[in-house]
Copies of this chain bind each other. A is one copy, B any other.
Amino acid sequence: MGNENLVFKKFLLSKGLKLTKPRKIILDTVFATHEHFNVDGLYDQIRKKHKDVSRATIYRTIPLLIESGLIKQSLRCLAKDHYEHIYGHGRHLHLICEKCGKIIEVESKETESILNKLAKKHDFKIREFNIGAKGLCEKCRNK
């Protein structure tokens, strides 16, 4: 796969932290699929193979993954925070169907460059884009 491992390890080292077994399992599971994820789903996924990783450690590791630039906070859905990869993924925006929950991902270079321009005008330094819309997908509309 990619070298998320290396990226994460370097990041941890730079902060005097360690790439422990639980952290490695969490990292690997996060990058085992390309879907958005939340803590509960990730926990279930991990538990299929490893009985020795706790929710607490997942909650503690996610901020590290974010700070290392590997993932970002994404949607909030059904009262749960969701996350998604940055590393190895093109930037995109989300069209979220409010009925079936389907998420359509779309390239977003144009919108980002506009946002960058606006941010510059307001002397604002963007760290993370958050671009999308909610509505109805084709299937749910025609049903």
Contact = CB atoms under 8 A, between A and B. Distances in A.
A115 interface: yes
A130 B130 contact: yes
A95 interface: yes
Contacts of A76: 76
**Contact residue range for chain A?**
20 to 34
Nearest to A97: B124
How many copies the complex holds: the figure is 2
Interface of A: 76, 93, 95, 97-98, 104, 106, 110-111, 114-115, 118-119, 122-138, 141
Given A115-B133, A126-B133, 17 more contacts: A95-B118, A95-B124, A95-B126, A98-B127, A104-B122, A110-B114, A111-B114, A111-B131, A119-B133, A123-B137, A124-B136, A124-B137, A125-B141, A126-B134, A126-B135, A130-B130, A130-B131
